Amino acid sequence: MFITFEGGDGAGKSTQIARLAAHLREAGHEVETTFEPGEGELGKELRRLIQHSGDIDARTEALLYAADRAEHVARVVRPALERGAIVLCDRYLDSSVAYQGAGRDLGTEEIRDLSIWATHGLMPDLTLLFDIDPELAATRRTGEPDRLEREPLAFHTQVRENFVAAAHAYPERFVIIDAARTPDEISADVQRIVGERMTGAQS
């Protein structure tokens, strides 16, 4: 099963991935936790270029994310799925559609198609969207902000709106989670949703 965690920076995705992974491992499942961009040696270099270098042309940025995703799927995600693991991924193609397609105004369909091509069409079985007001999310972020985190509020608002629109467009894949609540409340929801989806897949 391939589960992706989406939402703006500061939504709490990393915390919930760690909690869900521990829960599933306790239940006897093999779990692969991973993230984009930056998994693997090539990914680390691409992450550095994308997030911490100077100004990058918007199309170049989109292509770098697609290159990272192609390598990530080929080297990490598909092999894990093929051996029967549950893959929990912090960001996937919906992030590119929201940030580059909508936020950078490059076209959501064009960016979606680019990622689908890069991954040979691999789509998540379930996408958990951690929805939170961008202003609240900004107060939760720690450390030096990267290039995307430094974008103005209007940019992050547009990204959030695209995520929510995608969730409504693909309700069979997305579940929206209120990320403004406590980590324990969110974790209980995540475990319930994933448990129900796994039970349904086995029946």
Q: Residue 12, annotated ligand binder?
A: yes
First vs last C-alpha separation in the chain: 14
Q: Residue 96, annotated ligand binder?
A: no
Phi, psi angles (nearest 5°) of residue 104: -90, -5
Q: Residue 107, annotated ligand binder?
A: no
In contact, 156 and 28? CB cutoff 8 Å = no
Q: Residue 40, annotated ligand binder?
A: no
Q: Residue 8, annotated ligand binder?
A: yes
Which residues is 88 bridged to in the sheet? Answer: 3, 33
Q: Is the peptide bond between 152 and the residue preceding it cis, with omega within 30 degrees of 0?
A: no
- For the range 184-187, what are the long-range contacts, defined as Cβ-Cβ under 8 Å and sequence gap of 24 or more? 186/12, 186/16, 186/130, 187/16, 187/19, 187/20
Strands across the sheet with 174-178, in order? 31-35, 86-90, 2-7, 126-131, 174-178
Q: Residue 14, annotated ligand binder?
A: yes
Rounded to an integer, what distance in angstroms lies between the CA atom of residue 162 and that of residue 174? 13
Kindly provide the b/e burial profile for residues 103-121, where b requires at least 16 CB atoms within 10 angstroms of the residue's own CB: bbebebeebbebbeebbee
Q: Which residues are annotated as a binding site?
A: 7-14
Which residues carry a binding-site annotation for ATP? 7-14
